[in-house]
């Protein structure tokens, strides 16, 4: 007969099934594996099964990351009795189908950003989440940078009036991994799989962060986008030297390489955004600054345990930007981690994401950001694309 304590532990568990096992799958695995070891959670995540199409690769991923079982069909994963939450870490083209099926099967859902590849898909997902909410199911979109303690602390400060009335928001997110024109045509460069390029991959993050920190939504945008390299070698098509000799089979790049856009927030504050995967030397450079009439706040992901804060209410002789080291136990998420001064890293955002999702499920409350929040970001991305398509090009008259 099973021991009563074992029965109780099983009853308090939350079975996780994850679809996808590459970069985001590894990051989410870290979150699920670690959250209950750091935080006192009301439900203990149990890594029940991971899913991917390649049986050998997904089995290897299960063994590496600590999943109990491996599936090759996401429908089988959803059908498992030991899975109560489905974590969607696939390319955007499958988000809607998997998430909606999971919600209709009675599962909670965590879905990676951007929520979908189109507004129509995101609307269907948000509708499914609303219906599921009446049955006690929870759905959240994975904007993990919200879970950086310094970002969460910045939100507290803005909401508490530390920078006063918001006037400007400036955000950049820069990478360089496709600067080489012979980099292969991976899925992120194909619209049918990724939905968009730097705009969806990076722009979704900075739109969400700007709105989250400002505490208000964008109401208008004006945009430019560009694809700098129009075709690339097909993956696996190039042997040594073949790509540079022109011998490799190539395919069209169907997404943007960079996006620039301005925006207006509901209060009238102005915002500017830059998302590029062509910023040579920038590996994962995300920076946001907010300016108000009482002060300014800035965050740089490359110094992710710090905020830069200027208090404009003190005398000019004593003013200037100062560093806030966000490692104190009363800073967000840090009560369970290390002594002050011992910083956290990128992977911890996924631990915090898992913690927040589990806590919301146990409390019967709606986690943030919701699918409705993800839909709103999707609408902004669509407006950016629409604006970029319609933006007139001025051709100077020759002298």
What tens digit of pLDDT does each residue of 141-184 get? 999 999 999 999 999 999 999 999 999 999 999 999 999 999 99
Can you tell me the distance from the alpha carbon of 200 to that of 186, in angstroms, rounded to the nearest whole number?
A: 15
Domain stops at, among 113, 144, 175? 144
Asked if residue 6 has pLDDT above 50, the reply is no
389 within a domain of the structure (yes/no): no
CATH code (residue 203): 3.30.360.10
pTM, full prediction: 0.92
Predicted confidence at residue 3, as pLDDT, reads: 35
397 within a domain of the structure (yes/no): no
Q: Are residues 272 and 154 in the same domain?
A: yes
SS3 label, residue 4: helix
Q: Are residues 101 and 130 in the same domain?
A: yes
129 within a domain of the structure (yes/no): yes
45 within a domain of the structure (yes/no): yes
Looking at every residue in the chain, the average pLDDT score rounds to: 94
Q: Are residues 284 and 139 in the same domain?
A: no
396 within a domain of the structure (yes/no): no
23 within a domain of the structure (yes/no): yes
Q: Are residues 154 and 140 in the same domain?
A: no
Can you tell me the distance from the alpha carbon of 346 to that of 354, in angstroms, rounded to the nearest whole number?
A: 14
Q: What are the residues whose beta carbons fall under 8 Å from the beta carbon of 299, sequence distance 6 or more?
A: 148, 150, 151, 154, 287, 288, 289, 306, 307, 308
Can you tell me the distance from the alpha carbon of 133 to that of 366, in angstroms, rounded to the nearest whole number?
A: 8
Q: Are residues 108 and 197 in the same domain?
A: no
Structure tokens at 392: 């007139």
Q: Are residues 335 and 265 in the same domain?
A: yes
| CA quadruple 379, 98, 44, 349: dihedral sign | negative
**Which tens digits make up the pLDDT trace of 228-250?**
999 999 998 654 444 454 557 99
Report which DSSP code applies to 228.
S
Domain stops at, among 144, 169, 187? 144
Q: Are residues 138 and 166 in the same domain?
A: no
DSSP string, 148-217: SHHHHHHHHHHHTTTT-SEEEEEEEEE--TT-STTS---GGG-HHHHSSSHIIIIIHHHHHHHHHHHTS-
Domain stops at, among 81, 110, 144? 144
User: How many domains does one find in the chain?
Assistant: 2
Q: What are the residues whose beta carbons fall under 8 Å from the beta carbon of 76, sequence distance 6 or more?
A: 51
Predicted confidence at residue 395, as pLDDT, reads: 67
CA distances to 1, 3, 11, 67 from 7, in Å? 10, 6, 6, 21
List the one residue out of 136, 123, 147 whose CA is nearest residue 30: 147
50 within a domain of the structure (yes/no): yes
Q: Which domain holds residue 156?
A: 149-303+305-344
Q: What are the residues whose beta carbons fall under 8 Å from the beta carbon of 245, sequence distance 6 or more?
A: none
> CB–CB of 156/365 below 8 Å?
no
SS3 label, residue 391: coil
Asked if residue 393 has pLDDT above 70, the reply is no
361 within a domain of the structure (yes/no): no
Q: Are residues 59 and 165 in the same domain?
A: no
CA distances to 67, 172, 187, 197, 350 from 60, in Å? 10, 36, 22, 29, 21
Number of H helices, E strands in the chain: 13, 16
CA distances to 14, 212, 269 from 108, in Å? 10, 23, 36
Predicted confidence at residue 238, as pLDDT, reads: 52
Predicted confidence at residue 242, as pLDDT, reads: 47
Predicted confidence at residue 173, as pLDDT, reads: 98
**Model confidence at 397, in pLDDT bands (50, 70, 90)?**
confident
Predicted confidence at residue 394, as pLDDT, reads: 64
Structure tokens at 141: 């979109």
CATH code (residue 59): 3.40.50.720
Q: What are the residues whose beta carbons fall under 8 Å from the beta carbon of 356, sequence distance 6 or more?
A: 140, 147, 367, 368
Q: Are residues 95 and 194 in the same domain?
A: no
Q: Are residues 135 and 154 in the same domain?
A: no
Strand stretches in 236-332, DSSP E: 250-252, 258-265, 270-276, 285-292, 295-300, 306-311, 322-325
SS3 label, residue 252: strand
Can you tell me the distance from the alpha carbon of 41 to that of 84, in angstroms, rounded to the nearest whole number?
A: 16
> CB–CB of 299/307 below 8 Å?
yes
List the one residue out of 218, 202, 394 whose CA is nearest residue 282: 202
Q: Are residues 123 and 162 in the same domain?
A: no
What b/e readout covers 155-180, taking b as 16+ CB neighbours within 10 angstroms? Answer: bebbeeebbeebbebbbbbbbbebbe
Average pLDDT over residues 295-311: 98
Answer left, alpha or beta for residue 66, where phi above 0 means left and psi between -120 and 50 means alpha: left
**Which tens digits make up the pLDDT trace of 68-78?**
999 999 999 99
Structure tokens at 230: 């129009």
**Which tens digits make up the pLDDT trace of 323-382?**
999 999 999 999 999 999 999 999 999 999 999 999 999 999 999 999 999 999 999 999
Q: Are residues 116 and 41 in the same domain?
A: yes
194 preceded by a cis bond (ω within 30 of 0): no
**Which tens digits make up the pLDDT trace of 8-50?**
334 489 999 999 999 999 999 999 999 999 999 999 999 999 9
Q: Which residue has the tokens 């075709």?
A: 231
């Amino acid at each position: 007969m099973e021991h009563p304590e074992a029965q109780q532990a099983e009853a308090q568990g939350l079975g996780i099934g994850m679809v996808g096992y590459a970069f985001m799958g590894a990051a989410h695995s870290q979150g699920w594996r670690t959250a209950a070891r750091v935080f006192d959670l009301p439900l203990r995540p149990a890594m029940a099964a991971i899913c991917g199409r390649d049986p050998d690769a997904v089995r290897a991923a299960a063994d590496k990351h600590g999943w109990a079982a491996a599936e090759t069909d996401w429908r089988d994963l959803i059908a498992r009795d030991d899975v109560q939450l489905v974590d969607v870490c696939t390319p955007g083209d499958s988000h809607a189908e998997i998430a909606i099926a999971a919600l209709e099967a009675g599962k909670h859902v965590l879905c990676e950003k951007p929520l979908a590849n189109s507004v129509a898909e995101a609307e269907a997902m948000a509708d499914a989440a609303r219906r599921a909410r009446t049955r006690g199911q929870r759905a959240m979109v994975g904007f993990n940078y919200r879970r950086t303690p310094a970002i969460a602390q910045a939100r507290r400060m803005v909401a508490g009036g530390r920078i006063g009335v918001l006037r400007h928001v400036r955000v950049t997110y820069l990478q360089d991994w496709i600067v080489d024109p012979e980099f292969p045509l991976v899925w992120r460069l194909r619209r049918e799989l990724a939905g968009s390029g730097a705009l969806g991959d990076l722009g979704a993050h900075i739109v969400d962060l700007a709105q989250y920190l400002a505490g208000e939504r964008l109401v208008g945008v004006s945009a430019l986008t560009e694809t700098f390299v129009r075709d690339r070698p097909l993956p696996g098509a190039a042997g040594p030297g073949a790509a540079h000799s022109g011998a490799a089979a190539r395919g069209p790049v169907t997404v943007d390489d960079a996006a620039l856009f301005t925006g207006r927030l509901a209060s009238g504050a102005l915002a500017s955004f830059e998302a590029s995967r062509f910023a040579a030397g920038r590996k994962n450079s995300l920076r946001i600054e907010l300016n108000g009439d009482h002060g300014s706040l800035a965050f740089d992901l490359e110094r992710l345990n710090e905020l830069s804060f200027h208090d404009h209410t003190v005398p000019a002789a004593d003013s200037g930007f100062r560093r806030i080291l966000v490692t104190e136990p009363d800073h967000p998420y840090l009560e369970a981690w290390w002594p002050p001064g011992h910083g956290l890293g990128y992977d911890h955002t996924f631990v915090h994401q898992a913690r927040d999702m589990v806590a919301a499920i146990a409390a019967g409350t709606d986690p943030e950001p919701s699918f409705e929040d993800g839909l709103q970001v999707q609408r902004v991305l669509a407006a950016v694309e629409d604006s970029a398509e319609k933006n007139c090009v001025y051709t100077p008259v020759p002298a």
